[in-house]
Amino acid sequence: MRSRGLLTIVRGLMVVVAGAIACAACSSSSAAVVSVQKKVQGILGQPNVTSFLDVRFGDSLYRVQNRFPNGTVETAPYGADTYRLNNIEVDGIRYARIKYEFTSYSGMQLVMAWFTPDSSGKVLEKLVAAVGPPTEQNSAKGSSPTDTQAIWQLPHGERVVYDGPKRFVAVVGPGGGPLKQDAVENEALDSPQH
């Protein structure tokens, strides 16, 4: 436990130092900035996912209700508290449904979202921009995002799933172990029609 906190502090300090170096390099050349960014990413590892639509992993149900007051509180099949949103559009991406699931001790640790077909490309593009290329991908080269399936296994325990044919994306947070089965079962469901 103590070493994990120390690792977080060290990572934070490295990001601050790298930011200062990058700012200094900005005045000299953009190639130096890219070089510094690659070195920092090499030291820190792959990026991780910390939130979904401004809801952070670890946030309470109360916090999510305040962020999106028009949602509905439900109970997942395995007993987890769930907050459901219907028909929401953010940054040009339309979601038919979003479900945030919560663990008793770690707050929000699973988000599942079903997006509209015309949003497939934007969803996949945002995922790749946020966390890099997928760990696994099931699609032919040059396939459209609506035909692509991809999985990211991230260094802090997060798991991201993108399923273009089912118009589904899920992110299991670092404390979401108890919710993984629910995520797997929801991956198998068809996209909501409303």
85 occurs within a structural domain: yes
74 and 133 co-located in one domain: yes
Task: Report how many domains make up the chain.
Answer: 2
149 occurs within a structural domain: yes
What pLDDT is stored for residue 8 in this prediction?
41
What percent of the chain is predicted at pLDDT more than 90?
38
On average, the pLDDT of the chain sits at 74
193 occurs within a structural domain: no
89 occurs within a structural domain: yes
Q: Which domain holds residue 19?
A: 2-44
Residue 140 confidence class, pLDDT cut points 50, 70, 90:
low
35 occurs within a structural domain: yes
Beta bridge partners of 172: 110, 159
- With H, G, I as helix, E, B as strand and everything else as coil, classify residue 28: coil
Q: How far are the Cα atoms of 18, 49, 161 from residue 46, in angstroms, in the given order?
A: 15, 10, 16
138 and 165 co-located in one domain: yes
**In this structure, what token pair is assigned to residue 16?**
């601050």
Nearest residue to 155 via CA among 6, 7, 1 = 7
23 and 60 co-located in one domain: no
Q: What DSSP character marks residue 18?
A: H
24 and 67 co-located in one domain: no
Rounded to 5 degrees, φ, ψ at 55 are -110, 115
What percent of the chain is predicted at pLDDT more than 70?
63
107 and 154 co-located in one domain: yes
What pLDDT is stored for residue 105 in this prediction?
83
Q: What is the pLDDT of residues 89-128, one digit of tens each?
A: 998 999 999 999 998 888 998 999 999 999 999 999 999 9
97 occurs within a structural domain: yes
Q: Do 119 and 94 form a contact (C-beta atoms < 8 A)? A: yes
Rounded to 5 degrees, φ, ψ at 39 are -65, -45
Torsion (CA) 31, 33, 35, 36 in degrees, nearest 10: 160
71 and 20 co-located in one domain: no
Secondary structure element (H or E) that encloses residue 176, with its range? none
Q: Do 36 and 22 form a contact (C-beta atoms < 8 A)? A: yes
Domain boundary among 26, 44, 62: 44
34 and 68 co-located in one domain: no
Vertex 60, ends 106 and 166: CA angle to 5°? 80
192 occurs within a structural domain: no
106 occurs within a structural domain: yes
21 and 116 co-located in one domain: no
72 and 159 co-located in one domain: yes
112 and 183 co-located in one domain: yes
131 and 158 co-located in one domain: yes
101 and 164 co-located in one domain: yes
Q: What is the pLDDT of residues 33-66, one digit of tens each?
A: 334 444 444 444 555 678 888 899 999 999 999 9
What pLDDT is stored for residue 192 in this prediction?
55
Q: Which of 9-13, 54-58, 100-104, 144-148 has the weakest average pLDDT?
A: 9-13
Q: What is the pTM of this model?
A: 0.69
